[in-house]
Structure 1
Amino acid sequence: MNYGCDSSNSCLKVSYPAVFSLQNLSKPEQTTAMIFFVFTLLFLVAAAVVFLRVFAKLRSKVFWDGDGRKKTTFAFFHPYCNAGGGGERVLWVAIRSIQKRYPTVQCVIYSGDTDASPDEILGRARQRFNIKLPGHVEFVFLRHRGWVEAVKYPYFTLLGQSLGSLVLAMEALFSLVPDVYIDTMGYAFTLPLFRYLGGSKVACYVHYPTISTDMLGQVSQRVAAHNNASFISRSPVLSQAKLLYYRLFAFCYSLAGKCASVIMVNSTWTYNHITCLWNAVDRTHIVYPPCDVAEFLAAPLLDDETKPRQILSLGQFRPEKDHPLQLKAFHKFLSAVDSSRKSDFTLVLAGSCRHEEDQARVRHLQQLAKELGIDDRVKFRLNISFEELKKLLFESMISLHTMWNEHFGICVVEGMAAGTVMLAHDSGGPKLDIVVQHGNKPTGFLASDTDSYAAAMKTIFEMSSSERLEIRLSARESISRFSEEEFETVFLMLCEPLLKNLLRS
C-alpha cells in the first residue's frame, strides 16, 4: 500500500501488485525456479565465453607461409622483454630453441616495451646476452602495461597486479590468439584466459611464485619485510586481515596455475612452493635457466693475488635484491679494516634499471652509501653491456648476492663460472641448487645478515690465493648442469606435446 495526496490535499490509497517472491511459491515451484535461474546464469556465462572466443578469433592476426597455409603460432607473454635480466635470458634462449627445432613455427612476443622498436629490443638481447635469433620473431606491443606496475597499487599489490594482468592479457588475446601460449614472467592469472577464451594450449615458466608459503609465514609471524609493511606487522588485527587476504589470493592463484598443461620451474625452491600451492606434481618440471657461461669458462683461472680486492654485485635494482644489505655488510667489514688499507677494497653494484622506480632506488642507495661514509669505496654501473659485465667479473675477487629466497640466481652461476669466489644468500636457489658441495668440496660461501656477510668477506680476503683457487675450481666444475644446451634439451622435450598435432607433416 502507498498513500499520496490529490490536488485538494486529501489522501488517496494506491494499490500496487505484489512483488514476485520465492516465498509465494510452493516448494516444488521454488526448486524449479532455482534450477531455471542457475541454468540461465550458466547459459549466459557460456554464451559470453563463446562470444568472446569467436570475437577474439575474428580479430586475431594470422600468419601465412609461402604456400598460403596458416602458420602455427607460439606466443610468449613477457611484457618486460627489454629489461635485460635473467628472466629475459630465459625468454630469448627459449625462442631461439623453438626457432631452431621448428623453423616453420611463428614465434610471437607480447611486449609492453612500446618505447623501443623490434630492432632495438633484438639489438639489446644481442648486446646483453650475446643471443642472436636464427629466425623472425613477431612483436605484439601492449599499450596497457601500466596495469601490472607495482607502483600503481600501493595497497593490495598482489591482487592489483594480478587483476591488471587480466586487462593486459585481454589486450594481448584480442590482438593475437596463439596456438600455444606460454607465460614466462609469472602472470599466472592470464593462463585461464588463454586456455578458455583463446582455446590455446597453455604452459608457463615460473621464476618465482607470486605468493609463497614463506610470505604467509612472514605475515603470520608478524615479521616486517619489503612485502609486509611495519605498520601491519605491528598490528595483530591488520596481520590477521592480511593473512586472510593472502590465503584467499593463494587459493585463486592455485586455480589459475592449474590451467597450465605444462609447468616449468627454475629451481628446487620454486618447485617445492609451486607443487605445494598448485598441487600439480605430475605436470611440474625443474628446468634450470640457461646460463651462457662458455665465454667465462674459456678464461683460465689464474692466481687472484694480483687482482683488485673488489666485490661485485650483479642484478637488477629491485627491492627484493636487498642492495642496502650489501652496503651495510660492506660498511661493517670496512669498519674492522685498518684505516691505511680501507682504500684497497671496493664494492661495485652493477645491474639494469628498467624505469624511474629503479632509478629512484639507485639514488637512495647512493645516499645510503654517503650516510655510511663509504661512498668513496662504492661504484654504480648501470645498464652495462655483456662485454662490460665480463670485464667486471674477471677483475673482481668476490661476487656478492643478497636476495632472500632468490628463485634461482643466474648471476650466482655467472660469478662462479668467471672465477670469482661466490658469497650468496643462505636461502632459495643458491642454497639448494647452486652453492652446494661438489665432490665433497665447497663451491662458495653463504650468509644471511649483515654480520655473517661481513664475516664471510673477511674470511675470503684473508684466505691464501691457493685456498681460494680450490674453491673457484670446484665452483666451475659444478655448473655444467646450468648450460644453455641443457636448458634447450629439456625445454624442447616439454614443449613437444604442446606442438603435437599442430604441425603439418
Structure 2
Amino acid sequence: MASLRILTVTLTTLILALIVRILFVVVFHRRKRRNSVGFFHPYTNDGGGGERVLWCAVKAVQEESPDLDCVVYTGDHDASPETLAARAIDRFGVELIRRPKVVHLYKRKWIEETTYPRFTMICQSLGSMYLSWEALCAFTPLYYFDTSGYAFTYPVAWIFGCKIICYTHYPTISLDMLSRVNARNSMYNNDTLIAKSAFFSQCKVIYYKLFSLMYGIVGSHAHLAMVNSSWTQSHIQKLWGIPDRIKRVYPPCDTSGLQMLALERSMEPMKIISVAQFRPEKAHLLQLEAFAAAVKILDADLPRPKLQFVGSCRNEADEKRLQGLKDRAKELKLESDVEFHKNVTYSELVSLLGGAAGGIHSMVDEHFGICVVEYMAAGAIPIAHNSAGPKMDIVLPEEGKQTGFLANTLEEYADAILRIIRMPASQRLEMAAAARKRASHFSEQRFYQDFKSAVRPIMSNTTP
C-alpha cells in the first residue's frame, strides 16, 4: 500500500508539474505575441494550388495591412525569405510586396502520412497539434492563419491567444467519405480489406463518426473560416456549426495570364494535358487507362494524340507513384505517346497549357479544381470528374454554351477524349472560348477582393 501511495503521489506531482510548465509557456508566449500574421504551411514546396493560395494570401495581407509582418511556418529547412519570395514568382507569378519571415519546423515527421501506416487521419491530426505547439513556441503571432487544413491546430493557437483564420481547401473528413465507408466502396482512403468486411467497415464508420465530432469541435475555434467552393462550404457548415463565420472565397487562378494564350493552336499532334501533384487521390492511373482506351479505338485516319502529365512530387511515395505511371505507360505501349513533366516552372507550365487542346482531371470530390479553371482559361477544353467543385462551380454553361465535359468512369473519360479529338476546329474554338469566359469568374483579382473583404473585420484592430 505504501509503494502504491508513493507511486500515486509521484505521478500526481509529475502531472501537476507538466500542467504548470504548460501554463507558464502559454502565459509567457501570450505576452510575447507579435503584431504579425503567422501562416502555418508546413510544406512550402508542394507546388500545388494550396501553395498558390499561400502566396496570394501573404500578398493580400501585405496590401491590406502593411503594418503587419508576415511569417511562414515551414518544415522545409532550406527555405529562406529570399528563396520563398523567388519561388512565389517562379512557380506562381506572385510578386510579394515584402519577403516573408521564416520560422523553421523540425517536427514535421509528426504529420507525415508515412509515419502512421494505420489510423493515419487521426494520428496526423494529433501530430499537427504537436507541430503547431513547436511553431507557436518559436514565434507567437497576433493572427494565426492556417492555409493547409490542419484544424486540430486551432485549439493550440486559441490557447496561445491568437485570432484564428483559416483557408480550408478540403474538409479532413466529409459526409461523403462516411457514406462510402458505409457502402463498403474501396478507394485510396478505404482499404480493400476493410471494404470487403462488414465488421471492419462498421468499426471504421464508428471511427469516422468520432473523428467527425472531434473535427467539428476543433474547427469551431476558427474566428474566420474561408472555404474554396460550394461543396466545401456545405460540408464545413455541417461539421463545424459556425455558418456566420464561414465565407466562400474562390481560390486564385491565373486567368489573366493564361487568357492571353491563343485559342488557335497546333493540333499536330493533339495534346491532352493533366496538371496535378502525383498524389493517390488525383487518380492519374485512371487518366492513363482512359487515354489508352481512346487511342485503341481511334479512327485510323486521325493522328495519335499525346498525353502530358505535369505535376510535382512531395515525397518518396509520390516519386514511386510517378515511376509506376511510367512503367504502366510502357506496359500499354504508349511510351512515345505519354510525356512526364515533373516540378516545372510557372513559365514552362504556361507553355504546356498553351499547346493543349484538352485538359483532364479525375479526382473524386475535388474540393475546387484550380487545374480545371487553368485549362479553361488557357483554351484547353476540360474533362473533369463529375463531382464537387468542377460539377457545382466550374464546368457550368456560360451564356448557354457548353464549357467542357464531366465524367465518372473510364469509359466516359475515353469517350470525352475521343470527342475532343474528333471535334471540328470551329466547334472546338467555340467551346474553348465559352470555357475561357467561364474561367474569368475565378481570377486572381477576384480572390484578392473577396479575401480582403473577408479578413477586414477580423484584422481591423492590429493592436496585440
Q: In which range does the TM-score fall when normalised by the shorter chain? A: over 0.9
The match for 1:188 is 151
Match of 1:52 among 25, 32, 35: 25
The match for 2:331 is 371
Contact 1:308 1:397 in 2 (8 A): no
Please give the per-residue CA displacement for 1:159-197, whole angstroms capped at 9, x wherever unaligned. 11001101101100110111001111000000011012x
Contact 1:394 1:418 in 2 (8 A): yes
1:218 and 2:180 matched: yes
Contact 2:228 2:248 in 1 (8 A): yes
Please give the per-residue CA displacement for 1:326-375, whole angstroms capped at 9, x wherever unaligned. 0110011111024675x621101011112222111101111111222222
Match of 2:296 among 320, 335, 342: 335
Contact 1:112 1:145 in 2 (8 A): yes
Match of 1:146 among 109, 123, 139: 109
Q: TM-score, normalised by structure 2?
A: 0.93
Query: SS in structure 1 opposite 2:415?
Result: helix
1:155-234 matched pairs, under 5 angstroms:
155-196=118-159, 198-234=160-196
**Using the alignment, how far apart are the partners of 1:73 and 1:457 within structure 2?**
49
Match of 1:263 among 225, 230, 255: 225
Match of 1:252 among 199, 214, 224: 214
**Using the alignment, how far apart are the partners of 1:305 and 1:122 within structure 2?**
35
Query: SS in structure 1 opposite 2:401?
Result: coil
Amino acid at match of 1:414: E
**Using the alignment, how far apart are the partners of 1:327 and 1:478 within structure 2?**
27
Match of 1:424 among 367, 370, 384: 384
**Using the alignment, how far apart are the partners of 2:235 and 2:447 within structure 1?**
21
Match of 2:405 among 445, 454, 464: 445
Greater CA drift, 495-504 or 211-220? 495-504
* Superposed displacement of residue 115, structure 1: 3.2
Greater CA drift, 45-54 or 378-387? 45-54
* Superposed displacement of residue 52, structure 1: 3.3
**Using the alignment, how far apart are the partners of 1:255 and 1:52 within structure 2?**
24
1:312 and 2:312 matched: no
1:46-195 matched pairs, under 5 angstroms:
50-57=23-30, 72-195=35-158
**Using the alignment, how far apart are the partners of 1:48 and 1:266 within structure 2?**
39
Query: SS in structure 1 opposite 2:396?
Result: coil
**Using the alignment, how far apart are the partners of 1:300 and 1:350 within structure 2?**
20
Query: SS in structure 2 opposite 1:223?
Result: coil
Please give the per-residue CA displacement for 1:128-165, whole angstroms capped at 9, x wherever unaligned. 10112111311111011111111111110101100110
Contact 1:180 1:498 in 2 (8 A): no
* Superposed displacement of residue 451, structure 1: 0.3
1:465-476 matched pairs, under 5 angstroms:
465-476=425-436
Amino acid at match of 2:402: P
Query: SS in structure 2 opposite 1:143?
Result: coil
1:236-247 matched pairs, under 5 angstroms:
236-247=198-209
Amino acid at match of 1:86: G
Amino acid at match of 1:382: K
* Superposed displacement of residue 117, structure 1: 3.2
**Using the alignment, how far apart are the partners of 1:305 and 1:392 within structure 2?**
12
**Using the alignment, how far apart are the partners of 2:256 and 2:156 within structure 1?**
39
Contact 1:113 1:141 in 2 (8 A): yes
Q: TM-score, normalised by structure 1?
A: 0.86
Amino acid at match of 1:446: L
Contact 2:266 2:355 in 1 (8 A): no
Greater CA drift, 431-440 or 120-129? 120-129
Q: Point out the structure with max Rg over C-alpha.
A: 1
Match of 2:347 among 382, 387, 399: 387
RCO greater where, 1 or 2, for CA within 8 Å and sep 6 or more?
2
Amino acid at match of 1:148: I
Amino acid at match of 2:290: A
Percent identity between the aligned chains?
43
Cα 1:306–1:360 change in 2 (3 A) is closer
Gaps of 5+ in 2: 6-15
* Superposed displacement of residue 478, structure 1: 1.3
Contact 1:307 1:397 in 2 (8 A): no
* Superposed displacement of residue 305, structure 1: 6.3
* Superposed displacement of residue 253, structure 1: 0.4
**Using the alignment, how far apart are the partners of 1:130 and 1:429 within structure 2?**
24
The match for 1:490 is 450
Contact 1:413 1:479 in 2 (8 A): yes
Please give the per-residue CA displacement for 1:423-482, whole angstroms capped at 9, x wherever unaligned. 111111111101011111111111111000001111111111111111111111112221
**Using the alignment, how far apart are the partners of 2:209 and 2:45 within structure 1?**
33
Contact 1:262 1:283 in 2 (8 A): yes
**Using the alignment, how far apart are the partners of 1:329 and 1:262 within structure 2?**
41
Gaps of 5+ in 1: 1-15, 21-42, 63-70
1:272 and 2:217 matched: no
1:235 and 2:197 matched: yes
Please give the per-residue CA displacement for 1:207-251, whole angstroms capped at 9, x wherever unaligned. 000000111011100000000000000111111111101100010
**Using the alignment, how far apart are the partners of 1:469 and 1:338 within structure 2?**
22
Number of residues of Structure 1 aligned to a counterpart in Structure 2: 455
Contact 1:308 1:396 in 2 (8 A): no
Contact 1:186 1:210 in 2 (8 A): yes
**Using the alignment, how far apart are the partners of 1:247 and 1:447 within structure 2?**
30
